[in-house]
Amino acid sequence: MNNKLILVIAKSLLLARWKQTLVAAVGVTFSITMFITLLGFMTGLNDLLDGLILNRTPHVRLFNEVKPNPEQPATFSKDLGYTFIHSIKPSGNGQNIDNATAIMQNLKKDPRVFGVAPKVSAQVFYNVGNIDINGVINGVDVESEARLFKFQDYVPAGNYLDLKNVPNSIILGKAAADKMLANIGDVIQVTTPRGDRLSLKVVGYFQSGLADLDKVQSYASLATTQKLLGRPISYITDINIKLNNIALAPALAVEYKKMFDTDAEDIQTANAQFETGSNVRSIISYAVGITLLIVAGFGIYNILNMMIYEKMDSIAILKATGFSGRDVKRIFTTIALSIGIVGGLFGLGFGFILSHIIHQIPFNTVALPTVKTFPVNYNLKFYLIGISFSIITTYFAGLFPARKASKIDPVIIIRGK
């Protein structure tokens, strides 16, 4: 009964000054709208930029560094004492990972591993007339590459699955293709450093967003690349691993290095600073959003103060007829909270609409072939934070005037008349 009565009184006071109430609510709505939009847009951009690195980078990469054998024949002899050998050259079977198939099977069983993609990289020359252009062909398993590293997002023209289905096919880097004037369906010639030649059919373009990379990098299937190099099917130069939890990467890199006797590199070491930028952008968005809300809070504070001065008589008579200070306080916090909740909910709605509008704005950049409009993140978290912030700030903005109202002495008001 009491709660209902307090609500009724709060409502009538609100409606009595509906213009000021509206201004206060619009303040909250505006700040929540901006908060949602800003965070959605910033996070969308962050995700996009992080994706550039995260999508394309394995969490752990196993490979064999080309390096000299630490155990030279001279060191096997105990009689020689100290030996000094100059100009040692790398030896062995180069970049091949020994026993790659077994390693991959082992990794697939590891519960911490999300997926494994093998890779063979081959140095080649693209032959254009009498000119040779430097290039690298990555032999990949198309399906796992697509599953783990969103390969398809970076193939703006042609079908990426043709790489598997069409024998002797290649997806050329966009910049390289432009240089070679190669269209989809054309056949190009490549030469390996050993002098082997092979004709490959262009089935698509690859565009990573980094122009320098696209000048060099092309993709072919594992088998095609192995054939190009004249190597057996077991020849694998890289094993790219994606983990379920990216944070485990450094520890697992160390573990795999020891277990499989290869070199291992984790994403954190490879891209140490990629998180810093995202964090700074998030902090800025939150700071702006909260600042807007605090300003709106001052608006509510002012309006409630005015309302209390205007309604001094009403407060006095309510107290005289049996409303305690607590009841009066609750009336005014109810007013503040309803401004906060209503303003906040509208803010969420408008924020969503504004985000959606931004999401429709064309955003074409050569660097990002699959992105056509501005990226926006519609994470529910932002909406929950937005509404909680609006309720908390309006509550505190209302608390001080409400406390003042609760302390009004009816005797002073009534006798003052």
Partner 1 sequence: MEEIILEAKSICKSFHDPVTIPILKDVSFSVNKGDFVSIIGKSGCGKSTLLYILSTMDTDYEGELIIDKESMTNKKENELAKIRNEKIGFVFQFHYLLNEFSVLRNVMLPGIKLGKFSEKEIEHHAMEKLRILGIQEQALKMPNQLSGGQKQRVAIARALINNPHIIMGDEPTGNLDKKNTEIVFDIFSQLAAEFNQTLLIVTHDNEFASRTQRIIEMEDGRIIK
2 touches partner 1 (CB under 8 A) = yes
Which of 183, 271, 279, 324 is in the footprint of partner 1 by CB under 8 A?
A: 324
Work out whether 313 is an interface residue with partner 1 (CB under 8 A). yes
Residue in the block written with tokens 């109810």: 334
Q: Is 33 in the site for partner 1 (CB under 8 A)?
A: no
Residue of the chain from 154, 323, 332, 382 that contacts partner 1 (CB under 8 A)? 323
Q: Decide: is 287 part of the binding site for partner 1 (CB under 8 A).
A: no
Structure tokens at 378: 């519609």
> Facing residues of 218 across strands?
137
Beta bridge partners of 188: 200
Q: Which of 164, 319, 329, 330 binds partner 1 (CB under 8 A)?
A: 319
- Check residue 96 and report its DSSP letter: P
Out of 67, 258, 326, 372, point to the residue binding partner 1 (CB under 8 A): 326
89 touches partner 1 by CB under 8 A:
no
Residue closer to partner 1 by CB (options 392, 411) is 411
Report CA-CA distances (Å) from 268 to 43, 47, 117, 124, 200.
21, 17, 19, 30, 36
**Number of residues this chain uses to bind partner 1 (CB under 8 A):** 27
CB nearer partner 1, residue 16 or residue 74: 16
Give the 3-state secondary structure of residue 134: strand
Q: Among 124, 316, 345, 397, indicate the residue that binds partner 1 (CB under 8 A).
A: 316
Can residue 306 be called a binding residue for partner 1 (CB under 8 A)? no
**In whole angstroms, how close is the CB of 384 to partner 1 at the nearest point?**
35
Torsion of CA 402, 403, 404, 409, to 10 degrees: 110
> Cα torsion at 115, 118, 123, 129 (round to 10°)?
-80
130 binding partner 1? (CB under 8 A): no
Is 13 one of the binding residues for partner 1 (CB under 8 A)?
yes
- Stretch of 167-175, 177-185, 250-258, 316-324 lying at the interface with partner 1 (CB under 8 A): 316-324
User: What part of residues 372-411 is at the interface with partner 1 (CB under 8 A)?
Assistant: 409-411
Q: How far is the CB of 323 from partner 1 (least distance, A)?
A: 6
For residue 265, the one-letter residue type is: E
Query: Which range binds partner 1 by CB under 8 A, 41-49, 92-100, 300-308, 320-328?
Result: 320-328
Beta strands in 341-407 (DSSP E): none
CA distances from 205 to 172, 201, 208, 219 (A): 5, 12, 10, 9
Question: Is residue 317 within the footprint of partner 1 (CB under 8 A)?
Answer: yes
| Residue/partner pairs of 18-27 with CB below 8 Å, 24 or more apart | 20/303, 20/306, 20/307, 21/303, 21/335, 21/339, 23/299, 23/303, 24/296, 24/299, 24/300, 24/303, 24/339, 24/343, 25/339, 25/342, 25/343, 25/346, 26/343, 27/295, 27/296, 27/299, 27/300, 27/343
Residue 3 within binding range of partner 1, rule CB under 8 A: no
Least distance (Å) from partner 1 to the CB of residue 27? 23
Rg (the chain; Cα; Å): 33
Give the Cα separation of 197 and 212 in Å (integer): 25
Q: State which of residues 77, 87, 321, 364 lies at the interface with partner 1 (CB under 8 A).
A: 321
194 binds partner 1 (CB under 8 A): no
Give the binding site for partner 1 (CB under 8 A).
1-2, 5, 12-13, 15-16, 313-314, 316-327, 409-411, 414-415, 417
